[in-house]
Amino acid sequence: MAGMKGLKKKRRVQVIVLAFVALALSAGLIGFAFRDGINYYRSPSQVLEEPPEARETFRLGGLVEDGTLMRGQGKIVTFAVTDGVSSVPVSYSGILPDLFEENQGMIGTGKYVNGVFEASEILAKHDEEYMPREVIDTLKETGVYEDPNG
């Protein structure tokens, strides 16, 4: 009978160890899968202070700088994004959102290559009042944003 108790205890320890190994393995696989899916937000000042590697995908947000929006050949569009302190040139190939315009908030996803943010996706406000929370926070930090509601 004593041998049976020892066997049950040994089996229980094996199951617990196996559960921890499975949990660690699944956490590692989830982390590996998210590695490319997480895009960190940066303001133009942060990009210029610490330029990211050319292979790193991230989100850039701010206001579309007045007088910089240029539509080129085909779908190529260039403009600059500012946080009121610094400005980063942006190049985008595609169709811009309907409400995209100068002096409005935007967030773009892409890579910073040779001093230009090459956007793969551009998001703009979705109505007259809306501005992305990250952009508002960045503009408040630089003293550019004034809350229209007081």
Question: How does pLDDT run across 104-146, given as a tens digit for each residue?
Answer: 888 899 999 999 999 999 987 655 555 667 777 777 776 665 5
Tell me the domain boundaries of the chain: 1-37, 40-142
Contact 108, 90 (CB under 8 A): yes
pLDDT at residue 72, as a whole number: 72
Percent of the chain at pLDDT exceeding 70: 83
pTM value surpassing 0.75: no
pLDDT at residue 5, as a whole number: 76
Beta strands (DSSP E) in 65-128 are: 70-71, 76-82, 87-93, 105-113, 116-124
Distance from C-alpha of 59 to C-alpha of 109, rounded to nearest angstrom: 4
Domain 40-142 has CATH 2.40.50.140: yes
